[in-house]
Amino acid sequence: MLFLSSQEKADWPHLAEEVLQGDAAPGQYDNEIRSNLLPVFHYYIGTMLAADGQRERGIDWLRAAAHYEGSRPFSASHLLGFLERNGGRLTMPVVVFRDPQAFLHFTQNPIMKVGRQKFVAECGETLPRFERPFSMMDIGCGDGGLTVLLLKQLTECGKVGEIREILLIDPSPAMVHLAEEKVRAAFPDLHITTECCRIQDLSAGIDRRFDLAISSLAYHHMPYEEKRIHLLQLKAWIDHFIIYEMDADNDTPQQHSPELALAVYQSYGGIIDCILSQDVPEEVATTCVDQFLISEIVSFFIHPRGTRTEYHMLQSQWHALFTECLSPEFSLRCCTPCYIDRYTTLFTMHYGRDESGSIERYRVSIR
């Protein structure tokens, strides 16, 4: 993963302002930019121009960025392709998750399949054996596929016997419906409850204990300050919290900052590369990219922090959040990469309640 120096963080916005207010062409500042960051710098300028309504200039700068991309990720090329399909408009094509088909195809790309398998295996290794009937909530359950994989793993390895309740939470009605169908097909006698909402709308109203809460690529849909609020509300009702997330620094950086452009460039490009290289009809892959990942990318560039849809964090930031909100009753049980390459890391992080910080004692302390 690449990072900007303090000087670059200060210099790039001044160069961007010169471009926005003047007529500077791509390549004009090449001698002032680190060679390995040339595609990122041109991507940064191109997205700012496009967001500013300067469509043709934005496309010119993104074309230059694509020219400098000698190897993966081809982030500028992918965004350029979308703009050309979208009449040069940097607008979100759809509401993310409205149509579950884009998400379903996303989960089948090789990066995600490998990452999910390792996430499930890690949960089986780090969770204790539950002697009492087991209960779990899945925050952002999607189509329920990961819920099923995890429950099968935990029952097969003897960590879970009788299951008391599975709570499926997702803001998409289509996803909740698919998830309930999929989990019920795998476990016909299971007691399943559903909530079609965001965890932000539910955390304060939870009134029963759960052995485990998991969240796969979902808890990042709110900024750090909101993550903190809802994690503190969940704390009283869970014994273990495990996330599966992407390591990326795009929570705290503000709109139009070079740090945000660099984080988005790195974190999404490789996954899009993987989706478009799958052996599926081109239309299927392109639809998945446009209706899911590109929608998220565009949100970073047209919406300010607080109204955009995505807030991924670095592993160190997640660790700081969990330490602040869950300690001392919980401790870190694992932080393990599930997929890693030069730019993209998917990881599992597990915090568990210690015996000395039992859930019953915690509830007494907050009364």
Residue 1 in any domain: the answer is no
> What per-residue confidence (pLDDT) applies to 355?
80
Residue 84 in any domain: the answer is yes
**pLDDT under 50: residue ranges of the chain:** 361-367
Together in a domain, 132 and 30 = no
Residue whose pair of structure tokens reads 């982030």 in the numeric block: 75
The HSE-up count of residue 50 (CA atoms within 13 Å, CB side) is 32
Together in a domain, 25 and 125 = no
DSSP 70: -
Instruction: Provide the token pair at 170.
Output: 């997702």
What is the residue type of 99?
Answer: D
Please, are residues 51 and 302 in contact by the beta-carbon 8 Å criterion? yes
**pLDDT tens track for 326-346:** 999 999 999 999 999 888 899
Together in a domain, 258 and 118 = no
Together in a domain, 203 and 337 = yes
Number of domains, the chain: 2
Please, are residues 246 and 267 in contact by the beta-carbon 8 Å criterion? yes
Together in a domain, 200 and 327 = yes
> What per-residue confidence (pLDDT) applies to 365?
41
C-alpha span between 347 and 340 (Å, rounded): 8
C-alpha span between 126 and 46 (Å, rounded): 44
Nearest alpha-carbon partner for 301 in 17, 95, 46? 46
Together in a domain, 77 and 194 = no
Domain region containing 109: 100-247+312-366
Nearest alpha-carbon partner for 157 in 192, 186, 128, 187? 128
The values of phi and psi at residue 324, to 5°, are: -65, -40
Together in a domain, 340 and 259 = no
Residue whose pair of structure tokens reads 């559903």 in the numeric block: 194
Domain CATH for 122: 3.40.50.150
> What per-residue confidence (pLDDT) applies to 362?
42
Together in a domain, 187 and 260 = no
> What per-residue confidence (pLDDT) applies to 278?
83
Together in a domain, 241 and 263 = no
* pTM of the complete model: 0.91
Residue 307 in any domain: the answer is no
Together in a domain, 286 and 137 = no
> What per-residue confidence (pLDDT) applies to 366?
40
C-alpha span between 305 and 307 (Å, rounded): 6
> What per-residue confidence (pLDDT) applies to 182?
96
Q: Order of strands, edge to edge, in the sheet holding 238-246?
A: 192-195, 163-169, 134-139, 210-216, 238-246, 345-353, 330-340
C-alpha span between 102 and 144 (Å, rounded): 15
- 109: helix, strand or coil: coil
Residue 59 in any domain: the answer is yes
> What per-residue confidence (pLDDT) applies to 94?
64
Together in a domain, 268 and 357 = no
Together in a domain, 202 and 60 = no
DSSP 291: I
Q: Taking CA 160 as the corner, what is the angle to CA 351 and CA 135, rounded to the nearest 5 degrees?
A: 65
> What per-residue confidence (pLDDT) applies to 114?
92
Nearest alpha-carbon partner for 341 in 270, 276, 293, 275? 270
Residue 272 in any domain: the answer is yes
Nearest alpha-carbon partner for 269 in 295, 243, 294, 299? 294
In order, the DSSP letters of 335-360 are: EEEEEE-SS-EEEEEEEEE-GGG-HH
